[in-house]
């Protein structure tokens, strides 16, 4: 009897990517959308460089990491070998990590407060580098979760773009767990349309098909590609 592949085995990762992309295409078909209009961010946090390399071998070039330190350890060598690789930072970002984030990321998806916006603006000036930015909105107004409060989102977007001159490309959200995500995705899509923002990063392993139906242009999928995360002990 053949042993099943380990979740991080190259063949398993390649098959998982193909399965996710097939489901993305089906969701696009249901919504009458071009599958090319939705990008897949493979969330590789806590997974080893070998897992990212397997995804790269399968043709995946867009990745997401939560922590700046992990991205700095994992991606320089991978990027050198794969110049087309693009890295999104998707986790809550501390102000004192803004310069490191600007240095390592192609897109920062977790811009969510004025102090961080100012720190990123200063870091961009110092580094001479301008990664794209997404404003993260806390669509459920959950106190334990990062993201700009809903009622402050319009003003914060204007602050970032008009006063600080930041390259805001779109919006990101993580709806509350165990609730219907569709109203959250629809609300975020309406906010983006109001501000003329083209990028909508919404939907994860459990709800990316719904997100696509509601207008997502990026979906962030980790577990369905790489398997369960191996969090360090302690």
For residues 176-186, average pLDDT: 96
For residues 122-128, average pLDDT: 97
CB-CB contact of 212 with 31 (8 Å): yes
Alpha helices per DSSP H over the chain: 10-31, 49-57, 68-81, 98-104, 114-127, 153-158, 182-194, 208-213, 223-226
Share of the chain above pLDDT 70, in %: 94
Coil, strand, or helix at residue 27? Answer: helix
Predicted local confidence at residue 8, as pLDDT? 58
Predicted local confidence at residue 154, as pLDDT? 98
Residue 202: pLDDT above 70?
A: yes
- pLDDT bracket for residue 231 (50, 70, 90): low
Predicted local confidence at residue 9, as pLDDT? 78
Residue 79: pLDDT above 80?
A: yes
For domain 10-225, the CATH architecture is Alpha-Beta Barrel (3.20)
Predicted local confidence at residue 233, as pLDDT? 45
CB-CB contact of 216 with 201 (8 Å): yes
**Cβ count near 216 (within 10 Å):** 30
pLDDT in tens, 127-166: 999 999 999 999 999 999 999 999 999 999 999 999 999 9
Residue 3: pLDDT above 50?
A: no
- pLDDT bracket for residue 118 (50, 70, 90): very high
Look over the chain and give the mean of its residue pLDDT values, rounded to a whole number. Answer: 94
Higher pLDDT, 151 or 10: 151
SS (H, E, C) 148-169: EEHHHHHHHHHHHHHHCCCCEE
Residue 234: pLDDT above 50?
A: no
User: Can you say how many angstroms the Cα of residue 105 is from the centroid of all Cα atoms in its chain?
Assistant: 11
As given in the structure block, the two tokens for residue 16 are 């998982």
Predicted local confidence at residue 94, as pLDDT? 96
Higher pLDDT, 103 or 230: 103
Higher pLDDT, 4 or 204: 204
The CA distance from 202 to 181, in Å, is: 10
């Amino acid at each position: 009897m053949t042993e099943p592949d380990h979740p991080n085995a190259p063949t398993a990762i390649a098959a998982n990517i193909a399965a996710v992309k097939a489901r993305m295409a089906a969701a696009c078909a249901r919504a009458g959308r071009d599958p090319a209009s939705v990008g897949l961010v493979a969330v590789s946090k806590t997974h080893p460089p070998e897992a990212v390399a397997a995804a790269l071998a399968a043709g995946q070039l867009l990745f997401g990491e939560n922590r700046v330190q992990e991205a700095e350890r994992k991606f320089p060598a991978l990027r050198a070998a794969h110049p087309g690789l693009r890295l999104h930072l998707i986790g809550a970002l501390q102000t004192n990590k803004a310069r490191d984030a600007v240095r390592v990321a192609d897109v920062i998806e977790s811009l969510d407060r004025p102090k961080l916006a100012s720190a990123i603006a200063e870091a961009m000036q110092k580094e001479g580098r301008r990664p794209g930015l997404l404003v993260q909105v806390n669509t459920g107004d959950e106190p334990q979760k990062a993201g700009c409060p809903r009622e402050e989102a319009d003003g914060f977007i204007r602050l970032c773009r008009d006063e600080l001159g930041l390259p805001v490309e779109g919006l990101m959200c993580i709806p509350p767990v165990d609730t219907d995500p569709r109203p959250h995705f629809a609300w975020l899509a309406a906010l983006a349309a109001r501000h003329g923002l083209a990028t909508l990063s919404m939907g994860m392993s459990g709800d990316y098909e719904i997100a696509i139906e509601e207008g997502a242009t990026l979906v962030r999928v980790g577990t369905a590609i790489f398997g369960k995360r191996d969090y360090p002990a302690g």
